[in-house]
Every structure is written in structure tokens, then in C-alpha cells.
């Protein structure tokens, strides 16, 4: 089991934040891993530093940042100036640049239909991210099927609003779930 897989096993609930209100809430929580799904070139350093001061493990969704392209120079900027634990992206080449700089990478895949499923699997095999976030996270069958096709740990995200949603995703084979639902941030693994 890789270091990152062990990290997910120890922290199966990942906080996904979309604004400064979520940032304040997550800083007060016991959540260890945080996916940052907002920000801009002007605010991302403050967001990252705030989370790191609270001993959070920060992943920045590069595709969602305003004012920063998810190209090689954008990735270099994130690594050199911001320095999060890792990045999230839907773009395989962005993940490749980040991995080359020593960052952990999570590829986000949307499971909308068979074509997106097949394309996602090909991309994962081509770019070898450290983990794969599958959306919607409530798609237990897609999680189970994806788990048979890739070796990377799966993180289920999107539309996970209840404890039952979290349990179903984890039971289907996800190693962790990411959720912006703050009510789920405080659940312990044993309570799932």
C-alpha cells in the first residue's frame, strides 16, 4: 500500500471546500485532507497557508482556479509559490507536469456514460495519477467497475450528502469520499 493509500485509509472523509465560509468551518474540524475547489491567483496562497497552519493536507483543484492556467507554467507556479501537498485536475497532462515536480496527483473523472467511463480509464492508464476521484460519488456501480480496471485508490466525490451515501461509496470500493457537506466532516471512520 502506498503512502497516499495509507493516508486515505486513515482519513476516509475528505473535506471539499468551495468558499471562505467552508474554509473557516474546515479549519475548526478534525478533517485532515482538504480539496480546495475555489480561489484565484490572488487568494490561493492565503487559502493554502491557512489550511497548512491547521495541519491540513491540501490538494488544489487547478482547473477551478481563476487566473491560473492548468499548463506547465501554471503547475510550476502552484508548486513554487503555493506548495500544496498535491493537485486535482481532469487534465492528464496537467497531472503529468505536477508528478514530474514531485506533487501528488488526483485525476477527477466524471462518469456520465460508457464513453466517459472508457475515456477516463484510458486517461488514468496513460497518466498514472496517485488517485482517481470519480463523480458522482453516489454511483456505486461505476466505482465498483472502475476499481476492477485501475490500480489507483478511488475517491468518491459529488452528491454525497448523507452518511448512507458515504457508506455506499466506501462499500463499493472507494478508499475515501470527498464532500462539501460539513455535517459529514466530523464522522469517524468507525461510525461509517
**Domain residue spans of the chain:** 3-191
pLDDT recorded at residue 143: 92
The model's pLDDT over 66-114, given as tens digits with 9 standing for 90+, comes to 999 999 999 999 999 999 999 999 999 999 999 999 999 999 999 888 8
Q: The domain 3-191 is classified under which CATH number: 1.20.58.100, 3.40.640.10, 3.20.20.70, 3.30.1280.10?
A: 3.20.20.70
First to last CA, the chain: 22
DSSP-assigned letter for residue 153: P
* Alpha-helical runs (H) found in 86-139: 92-100, 114-127
Nearest to 16 by CA among 178, 128, 133: 178
Task: Give me the mean pLDDT over the 20-31 stretch.
Answer: 97
Q: Give the tens place of pLDDT for each residue, 145-191.
A: 999 999 999 999 998 999 999 999 999 999 999 999 999 998 654 45
**Closest-CA residue to 145 (of 108, 113, 189):** 113
Cβ(35)–Cβ(17) below 8 Å: yes
Read off the pTM. 0.92
Q: Which residues contact 79 (CB under 8 A, 6 or more apart)?
A: 98, 101, 102, 103
Judged against a pLDDT cut of 60, whether residue 41 lies above it is answered with yes
Amino acid at each position: 500500500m502506498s503512502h497516499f493509500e495509507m493516508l486515505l485509509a486513515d482519513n476516509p472523509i475528505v473535506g471539499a471546500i468551495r468558499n471562505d465560509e467552508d474554509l473557516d468551518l474546515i479549519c475548526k474540524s478534525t478533517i485532515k485532507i482538504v480539496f480546495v475547489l475555489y480561489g484565484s491567483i490572488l487568494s490561493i496562497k492565503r487559502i493554502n497557508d491557512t489550511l497548512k497552519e491547521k495541519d491540513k493536507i491540501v490538494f488544489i483543484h487547478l482547473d477551478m482556479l481563476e487566473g491560473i492556467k492548468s499548463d506547465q507554467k501554471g503547475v510550476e507556479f502552484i508548486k513554487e509559490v503555493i506548495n500544496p501537498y498535491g493537485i486535482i485536475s481532469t487534465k492528464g497532462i496537467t497531472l503529468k507536469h505536477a508528478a514530474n515536480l514531485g506533487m501528488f496527483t488526483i485525476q477527477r473523472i466524471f462518469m456520465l456514460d460508457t464513453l466517459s467511463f472508457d475515456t477516463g480509464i484510458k486517461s488514468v492508464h496513460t497518466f498514472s495519477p496517485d488517485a482517481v476521484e470519480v463523480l458522482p460519488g453516489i454511483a456505486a456501480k461505476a466505482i465498483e467497475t472502475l476499481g476492477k480496471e485501475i490500480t489507483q485508490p478511488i475517491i468518491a466525490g459529488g452528491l454525497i450528502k448523507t452518511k448512507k451515501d458515504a457508506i455506499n461509496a466506501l462499500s463499493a470500493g472507494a478508499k475515501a469520499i470527498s464532500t462539501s457537506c460539513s455535517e459529514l466532516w466530523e464522522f469517524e471512520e468507525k461510525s461509517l
